[in-house]
Amino acid sequence: MAFKTISAQLAAKLDQELMGPEIGFTLQQLMELAGLSVAQAVQKQYPISIYQKRQILVVAGPGNNGGDGLVCARHLALFGYQPVVYYPKRSSKIEFYSQLVRQLDFFGVPVLGSDDKWTHYLTSPETVCIVDAIFGFSFKPPMREPFGSIVSELVKVQNAVPIVSVDIPTGWDVDGGPVAGTDSLAPSVLVSLTVPKPCANKLQAGRTTHFVGGRFVSASFAKKFGFEPFPYPFTDQVLKL
């Protein structure tokens, strides 16, 4: 399906408007729907009934893309998968992230920190896929550590274990796509949130299944930002493009 995109700058503006005084969404509401969308895309692409294995590694970054990953992990657990979260840099700026971690504890989902061993999950025969929730539309290259090393580990296994990227393949320039001279993720699935960003035009045809998710804007709001509303079927939170 042909799709319109919006720039990193416009995506940030769209977010601010959704959460501004006029519309009044909270970050928590949008993140819940975003994380649920990603979990649903995983379920559609790697359904449990076909894939006997159930383990999913979710790598969560320090910002809201990471928050989407934390929410996604909780829904994956509810869907019957066995998520494990690697969350190496926890921000204390937003208390909500700590609440999301406590909710994962409540569901018995392990949340590993920077001192924990995590790379064995990349090569484990039980791992269905890896959710890349490291950076989204606010990423500005070049990448700082520890994330450069983490992405290098993901790149090493990406032809053996599918990567599901949340909103942006981590490390890509949001408008320009893969950054020359750096390890570049080539995800098997991309879940663009609200509307694809320009880097989605650089996905390798035949390799990446592209979904849009984050079903939270009205038709008039979409048009104001220059795109058509997506025809999500029934109650689905994602649409394959």
Residues 7-46 touching ligand LZDS7PUF, rule: CB under 6 A, are: 15, 18, 27, 30-31, 34
What CA–CA distance (Å, rounded) separates 69 from 59?
7
Q: Which of 40, 42, 36, 65 is nearest to 54 (CA)?
A: 42
Whether the Cβ atoms of residue 185 and residue 152 lie closer than 8 Å to each other: no
Positions in 159-178 near ligand LZDS7PUF (CB under 6 A):
166-168
Q: Is 146 annotated as a binding residue?
A: no
User: In the complex, which residue's CB is closest to ligand LZDS7PUF?
Assistant: 136
Site for ligand LZDS7PUF contains 86 (CB under 6 A): no
Q: Is omega for the bond preceding 178 within 30 degrees of 0, making it cis?
A: no
Within 8 A by CB and 6+ apart from 30, the residues are: 15, 18, 19, 214, 216
Please choose which of K ion, ligand LZDS7PUF, none residue 30 contacts, taking the beta carbon within 5 to 8 angstroms, the exact cut-off set by kind. ligand LZDS7PUF
- The distance of Cα 195 from the centroid of its chain, to the nearest Å, equals 13
**Residue 165 partner contact from ligand LZDS7PUF, K ion, none using kind-dependent CB cut-offs of 5 to 8 Å:** K ion
- Annotated binding-site residue? 88: no
Q: Any binding-site annotation on 147?
A: no
Consult the annotation and say whether 140 binds a ligand.
yes
Instruction: Tell me whether residue 136 is annotated as binding.
Output: yes
Burial (CB count within 10 angstroms: exposed 0-12, middle 13-18, buried 19+), residue 47: exposed
Asked whether position 68 contacts K ion by CB under 5 A, the answer is no
- Is the bond leading into 146 cis (omega within 30 degrees of zero)? yes
Does 165 contact K ion by CB under 5 A?
Answer: yes
Residue 107: HSE in the Cβ half-sphere, 13 Å Cα cutoff: 23
Indicate which single residue of 5, 37, 65, 208 sits in contact with ligand LZDS7PUF (rule: CB under 6 A): 65
Closest approach of Cβ 98 to ligand LZDS7PUF, in Å?
15
Check binding of 158 to K ion (CB under 5 A).
no
- The verdict on 64 binding ligand LZDS7PUF (CB under 6 A) reads yes
Longest CA pairwise span in the chain (Å): 49
| Alpha helices in 107-211, H assignment, sequence order | 120-123, 147-157
Question: 32, 68, 132, 173: which one contacts K ion (CB under 5 A)?
Answer: 132
Is 221 annotated for ligand binding? no
Question: Do residues 190 and 208 touch, judged by C-beta distance below 8 A?
Answer: yes
Q: Three-state DSSP class for 81?
A: coil
213 is in an annotated binding site: no
Binding positions are: 64-68, 132, 136-142, 167, 170
Binding positions for K(+) are: 65, 132, 170
* Binding-site ranges for ligand LZDS7PUF (CB under 6 A): 15, 18, 27, 30-31, 34, 61-68, 135-144, 147, 166-168, 193-194, 214
